Every structure is written in C-alpha cells, then in structure tokens.
Amino acid sequence: MTVNSANVGIVIVSHSPLVARGAADMVRQMVGNSVPLAWCGGNPAGGLGTDTGAILKAIDEAWSEAGVAIFVDLGGAETNSEMAVELSGEARASRIVICNAPIVEGAVIAAAEASGGASLAKVVATAQELSPS
Amino acid sequence: MIAVEEPRPAIDHAVLTNRLIAACRDVIATREADLCDLDRAIGDGDHGTNMRRGMDALAAESRQLAAMPLSEAMSRAGTILVMSIGGAAGPLYGTFLMELGAALRNVEAWPEALRRAVAAVARRGKSAAGEKTLLDVLYPLRDEVVRHTPLPLLAQRVQGFAEMTIDMQAMRGRASFLGERSIGHMDPGAASCALLAATICRELAEAGIE
Ligand SMILES: [Mg+2]
C-alpha cells in the first residue's frame, strides 16, 4: 500500500506512546493510507514525556510537500515540537503547523480534511475550529 | 633554585569545560530526588530524572565539547540537552545554551550574550517574569551579571531567587493547572536553574575568572 504523499501529512505527539499510537490508529481507520501519518510518544529513556529527536523523525516520516500538521497533548509536547520544527530547517519549518486542537479529535478531523486534498491552511483551520480561542 | 613568584597560570578552557560539566552533573545527581519531589508537588515528578539524563548526556560528550571553541561548545551542549532531557526543560535549557553560543559567536560581551539567551528562553517558554518558572532565576541573575556582582556573591544569591517562586502562582506548564494550589511550592525549574547557576559561578570563581 502506498501512502498518498501529495496530501498534507499528520504528526501526533503525545507524552504517552499508547495515546499517540491509539490516536494514529483512529486516524488510519478513518482515512486509510490517503495521508502521510506518523506518531511518537515518550521521553528519550522510554518513560512518559516527549523526545525532540523522535518528533523530528516523525516529521520526516510524514513529510509532504503540501506540509505537515502536528497535534500535541500537554505543554512539553508543544515546546519540544516547536523546537523540532525549528531544527527541521527553514525550508520545512515554514510548511509545518503545530495545531491548537485536541490531540485525538484534531488529528482525525485534520486527516479527513487532508484526505480530500485540502491545503495545509485549510486542514489546520478545520482542526482548530474544535478549540474555542 | 631561586624562588620566583609564579604568574597566575592562564585559564585552560578545555580543563574548565570538563570541570563545569562534571560539577553540574554532580550537583544534579546529588539533588535529583529533591528536584523530583518539587515537581511531584506541582507537576509530574520527573524534573530531577530528566535533568539527570541531560547532565549524563553532556558528561558523555565532555571531552569533545572541551575541544571545541566556546561558542560551538555552547551550541552543541544546547542540542545535547534538547535531545536528552525529554520534557519542556530540554528546549528551555537547550535554547539558553544555543542562544549563548550564537551570541558569543557574534563576539558579544558576556552580559549582552546572557541578555539575549534569557530573552530567547522567555520566547521559547512564551513566559515572563513572575510566572513561577526558571525565568524567575534567570532575570535577576542576568541583572546581577550586568551589575558585575562578584561571582562568589552571586553563587550565594541565586538560591534566594529560586525561593522567590514559592509565593508565586504558576502561570505556565502543568503547575498552572493547579491554580492557587501551586502557591507554597518552589518551582522545580527555578530550583534546578539556581543549583546549576550557583555551581557554575563557584567553578568559574575557583578558576580565577571574575
Ligand atoms: Mg515534569
């Protein structure tokens, strides 16, 4: 099965690998292989936490020229994702958005939108409608 | 042999770098449990362990870091902390060192380099003074450096900066979920920052740096 890498990619970053994987399973169930998808969870020692290196790797796995939307759970996941976006280089960084949306609902809705070929801006806006700001 | 007064030996930066890393690693290892206790009170209890992992990763590359020019060593050390700590403290401490490295590369004087590094930490954490974070140690520390406070005196004062966070209400990070219940506990990030700053000030003073 090949992933349609023309569509916006989705990255899921949780403190818990179980949460990240579960959310990714729900995304796959919804959109199959129509969007590039990667997840990571846990700190560099395997405990609860986040790992900038693993986030960089996930961005790479889910990379699409259309861009990547990242979904995070708690604060450290957001800060480490921001760091990873910066470390991924300017060319990529401008096409990655860390979404202000609930991690599970956000990732599923974003993936549904992305599977129809929507732009990164549209994918992000649709997911962020979930979060009153 | 004729006794002559020996000139003060020049500072060996490689030796100093190795010493600084070893001293930082030692103080965090010694206080790991205390830092975890502080984090358990208002967070998820992993700050000591995370910092310990970061210091161990620095120590593992100590020789290579010591062989690099100072600015390059700072940037590399920042990257090591980002990749090893595994919590928000990773990007915060990492950004601090990376920005210090970048500022020193542009031949900024120390107080200016420190000012930039502290500002970068504030941006990274989207935080400001008085929000019960490590910035509540970094801001007064920066001000003391600008005023050229002697290092041994500064080493004594930094713990007081961390203690100021006890009465603050957390506005950032997980501790902010506790609202007013975060008051009465020292911020673990401020605590580790004060421990590291005091250690570095003491080591630099001992090496003859003013
Ligand atoms: Mg913690």
Query: Angle between the B47-60 and B188-206 helix axes, to the nearest 10 degrees?
Result: 30
Chain B positions in Cβ-Cβ contact with residue A79 (cut-off 8 Å): 88, 90-92, 124-125
- Burial class of residue B55 in the structure, from the number of CB atoms within 10 Å of its CB (0-12 exposed, 13-18 middle, 19+ buried): buried
What is the tens place of the pLDDT at every residue in B51-77?
999 999 999 999 999 999 999 999 999
- DSSP 8-state symbol, A1: -
Q: Rounded to the nearest 5°, which phi and psi values hold at A71?
A: -120, 130
pLDDT at B6: 60
Residue with tokens 């019960």: B132
Cα B138 to Cα B39: distance, rounded to the nearest angstrom: 19
- Quick check: is A15 catalytic? yes
User: Do residues B51 and B30 make contact, with C-beta atoms less than 8 angstroms apart?
Assistant: no
Number of domains in chain A: 1
SS3 A98: strand
Mean pLDDT for B101-123 is: 92
| Cβ-defined contact of B53 to A44 (cutoff 8 Å) | yes
In a domain, A124, yes or no: yes
Q: Is A44 on the interface with B (CB under 8 A)?
A: yes
Among the partner-chain residues B82, B87, B95, the one whose CB lies closest to the CB of A76 is: B87
User: So what CATH class is B13-206?
Assistant: mainly alpha
Evaluate if residue A44 carries a pLDDT over 90: yes
* CATH for A92: 3.40.50.510
Specify the pLDDT at position B53. 98
State the best of A73, A83, A85 to mutate against chain B, taking most chain B CBs within 10 Å.
A83
Predicted confidence at residue B8, as pLDDT, reads 60
Phi/psi for B14 (5° steps) reads: -65, -45
pLDDT digits (tens, 9 = 90+) for B118-152: 999 999 999 999 999 999 999 999 999 999 999 99
Q: Are A41 and A16 in contact, with CB atoms under 8 Å apart?
A: yes
d(C-alpha A46, C-alpha B86), whole Å: 10
**In-domain check, residue A2:** no
Q: Is residue A116 situated within a structural domain?
A: yes
Q: Is A83 within 8 Å of B95 when comparing Cβ atoms?
A: yes
Provide CB contacts within 8 A for A6, sequence distance 6+: A64, A65, A66, A117
Whole domain around residue A124: which residue ranges?
A: 9-128
Mean pLDDT of chain A: 95
Q: pTM, whole model, 2 decimals?
A: 0.93
Mutate to test the interface with A, among B32, B56, B80, B82 (most CBs of A within 10 A): B82
A132 pLDDT more than 80: no
The contact set of B with A (CB < 8 A) is: 44, 46, 49-50, 53, 82-88, 90-92, 94-95, 124-125, 172-174
DSSP code, position B62: H
- Give the Å distance between the CA of A107 and the centre of ligand 1: 25
Pair A34, A59: CB distance under 8 Å: no
Q: Return the percentage of chain B with pLDDT > 70, whole number.
A: 96
SS3 track for B104-166: HHCCCCHHHHHHHHHHHHHHHHCCCCCCCCCHHHHHHHHHHHHCCCCHHHHHHHHHHHHHHHH
Burial class (CB in 10 A: 0-12, 13-18, 19+), A103: buried
- Out of A9, A11, A13, A15, pick the active-site residue: A15
Q: Which residue has the tokens 């020292």?
A: B186
